[in-house]
Copies of this chain bind each other. A is one copy, B any other.
Amino acid sequence: MSEPCIICVAITGSVARKSDNPAVPITVAEQVESIHASFEAGAAIAHCHVRNGDGSPSSDPEKFAALKEGIETHCPGMIVQLSTGGRSGAGRERGGMLPLRPDMASLSVGSNNFPTRVYENPPDLVSWLAGEMRTYGVKPEIEAFDLSHIFRAKEMAEAGELLGTPYVQFVMGVKNAMPVDREVFDFYVHTVHRLFGDDAPWCAAGIGRHQITLNEWAAAAGGHLRT
């Protein structure tokens, strides 16, 4: 018997703005509407960023609270995952919404390059974010931008820094980080099974045009999907 495939919807990354694509939902009402459509279509997890009025990334806890409430009202049972990613703020600001006790939050456990800069996740910030997630009962989704991040999650789990079995998301196709490569993808899956057990869930996200490829690979290999 195969498990049902969990679909995780990230309706807005933190980068696209209305000027790039007029269909990108910006306001909380637009986001809730878009997430609701995905929920009706079967998505189980909503991966959420919030934005300022001009479309720039925000980490305002009030915006996150409104979005979380909208999803809970309109999409009962949907898992709310709030982003603590670095595009929306610096340092501990990134975790300011964790007291809202969302079901999940993203957690980057290492650093890597992004297209034009360093994606900085210093060890003390990672530990602090993980601690906040423990305090508020938030399940982390480990964002693996590189292979060592999966091992780092293992070390953190062994040290009691993460609640339960780590849920790892492979992120591929970001320029200057890990490219979309089938052998690496297979090694990622193998590594998750080796470190966390054959039943450990995982998901995969491809950036931009790579999303379809990663969805196909993940669906065939028993992972969850990010759309």
A residues lining the B interface (CB < 8 Å): 110-113, 115-124, 126, 145-148, 151-152, 155, 176-179, 181, 183-184, 187, 191, 194
Report Cα–Cα, A123/B117, bound state, in Å. 6
Report Cα–Cα, A177/B145, bound state, in Å. 13
Report Cα–Cα, A112/B112, bound state, in Å. 5
Q: Which 5 A-B pairs have the closest CB atoms?
A: A147-B147, A148-B178, A146-B146, A111-B118, A146-B148
Report Cα–Cα, A137/B187, bound state, in Å. 36
Is A194 touching B184 in the complex (CB atoms < 8 A)?
no
Subset of 25 A-B contacts with CB under 8 Å = A110-B146, A110-B176, A111-B111, A111-B112, A111-B113, A112-B146, A112-B148, A113-B126, A115-B123, A117-B123, A118-B118, A118-B121, A120-B120, A146-B147, A146-B148, A147-B147, A147-B148, A147-B178, A148-B177, A148-B178, A151-B179, A155-B179, A183-B191, A183-B194, A187-B187
A55 CB to nearest B CB, Å: 24
User: Within 8 Å CB of A194, what residues of B?
Assistant: 183
Q: How many chain copies?
A: 2
Contact of A176 among B123, B176, B179 (CB under 8 A): B123
Contact of A117 among B110, B122, B177, B187 (CB under 8 A): B122
Is A123 touching B113 in the complex (CB atoms < 8 A)?
yes
Is B116 touching A123 in the complex (CB atoms < 8 A)?
yes
Contact of A110 among B112, B183, B187 (CB under 8 A): B112
User: Within 8 Å CB of A124, what residues of B?
Assistant: 116
Is B110 touching A110 in the complex (CB atoms < 8 A)?
no
Report Cα–Cα, A146/B179, bound state, in Å. 13
A177 CB to nearest B CB, Å: 6
Report Cα–Cα, A151/B145, bound state, in Å. 13
User: Within 8 Å CB of A121, what residues of B?
Assistant: 113, 118
Is B119 touching A111 in the complex (CB atoms < 8 A)?
yes
Is A181 touching B151 in the complex (CB atoms < 8 A)?
yes
Report Cα–Cα, A115/B123, bound state, in Å. 7
User: Within 8 Å CB of A176, what residues of B?
Assistant: 110, 123, 152
